[in-house]
Amino acid sequence: MRPVIVLSEPIHEAGLTVLQAAAEVRVLSQSTAAMLRRAIADADAVIVRLFPLTADLMAAAPRLRVIGRHGAGLDNVDLAAATQRKIPVVYVPRTHGISVAEHTIMLMLALAKRVLRLDDAVRTGNFHLRNQISGAELDGKTLGVIGLGNIGRLVAEKCRGAFRMRVLGYDPFLAPDLSVPADRVADLDVLLRESDVVTLHVPLTPQTRSLLGARKLALLKPTALVINTSRGEVIDEGALAQALHAGRIGGAAVDVYATEPPPSDHPLLSAPNTVLTPHTAAHTEEALQRMAVSIADDVLAVLRGARPAHLANPDVYAP
């Protein structure tokens, strides 16, 4: 009998093909808790993207043998509940770093060069806006990278090489002897005070939640640009919007939000000098294909009785 694999959201066709060759695959037409609960009642595996997989939902799946997280962050999967049931959780930590790094740099440039305002000026017949506003160069400026994991290091490396930026890096969880393309600083306040651009590349944990609140944002230069392609909750979104409205920082570009999609009264939607994208930093053809195939391979590996390549909770294999 073929195993049953449920997908809370669609994945790239390449990964779907891998799964369908070995299993019965069900892709939800709508991502709701009620629909997922019904679908996983007899499932051997479930793969989620952004949909939260709670302990309560897991309890509705007595046959569940493996959970796949289509992405690098694990904050939407109850890892403790899965581990307690000895269910392996697999994920894709290194398949989309290039895409997210490129998106991050695109957001830096869009802010620095005032791209959205200039595009609107041409479309609305305000061509002479070119004589009223100017952009800024990134070349030679100071970049502060918060989080020196795979994506943070890629951003640092590309900005050092392409824009000759001075790069400061803050990551208290990184091994001190690990070589990184940044000048490491032990004090986040120092990085915030000295940086012209600050970009966040941290997972959502109790230590990183609201990492940049009103007090930290007040340390930034009035021309500083803030980029967030990690998780919405790592910045106090209300404090960020207030800083933008007050002109205390130069701009912000955000790809992730504490609530997704953001509600119509989200404070950043009306804030000036912003570039907002809908959690699409990893959404390139290349990255989506790599992620889908990787998660498919690891889910099927567990179902075959093999150890997966990317395991979030290795304790499930402890004797």
Do 67 and 53 fall into the same domain?
A: yes
Do 166 and 198 fall into the same domain?
A: yes
Query: Sorting pLDDT into bands at 50, 70 and 90, what band is 31?
Result: confident
Q: What percent of the chain has pLDDT over 90?
A: 96
Do 108 and 176 fall into the same domain?
A: yes
Do 80 and 149 fall into the same domain?
A: no
Strand order in the sheet with 197-200: 183-184, 166-170, 142-146, 197-200, 225-228, 251-254, 274-276
* Residues sharing a CB contact under 8 Å with residue 76, sequence separation 6 or more, in sequence order: 48, 50, 51, 52, 53, 69
Half-sphere exposure of 85 (CA within 13 A, CB side): 21
Do 232 and 217 fall into the same domain?
A: yes
145-176: pLDDT as tens digits:
999 999 999 999 999 999 999 999 999 999 98
Do 170 and 105 fall into the same domain?
A: yes
Catalytic residue among 266, 279, 290, 310: 279
**Tokens for 274?**
């912003």
* Alpha-carbon gap, residue 240 to 198, rounded angstroms: 13
Which residues form the domain of 293? 4-95+285-317
Which one-letter DSSP state was computed for residue 311?
Answer: B
Do 26 and 143 fall into the same domain?
A: no
* Residues sharing a CB contact under 8 Å with residue 129, sequence separation 6 or more, in sequence order: 117, 118, 121
Do 56 and 116 fall into the same domain?
A: no
Q: Is 1 exposed, middle or buried (0-12, 13-18, 19+ CB in 10 A)?
A: exposed
Q: What is the pLDDT of residue 319?
A: 76
Catalytic residue among 13, 137, 245, 260: 260
Token match 């790599």: residue? 290
231 is catalytic: yes
pLDDT over 80 at 193, yes or no = yes
245 is catalytic: no
pLDDT over 90 at 55, yes or no = yes
SS3 content of the chain, % helix, strand, coil (to 5): 40, 15, 45
Cβ atoms of 174 and 152 closer than 8 Å = no
Q: How far is CA 17 from the centre of its chain?
A: 26
* Alpha-carbon gap, residue 173 to 248, rounded angstroms: 30
Write phi, then psi, for 318 (nearest 5 degrees): -70, 145
Structural domain count of the chain:
2
Do 108 and 86 fall into the same domain?
A: no
- Degrees to nearest 5, angle at CA 36 with 51 and 93: 35
Do 181 and 253 fall into the same domain?
A: yes
Do 269 and 297 fall into the same domain?
A: no
- Please provide the average confidence, as pLDDT, over all residues in the chain: 97
Do 181 and 290 fall into the same domain?
A: no
Comparing C-alpha atoms, which of 217, 208, 220 is closest to residue 237? 217
260 is catalytic: yes
Task: Tell me the CATH number at 12.
Answer: 3.40.50.720
The pTM of this model reads: 0.91
Catalytic residue among 114, 231, 290, 310: 231
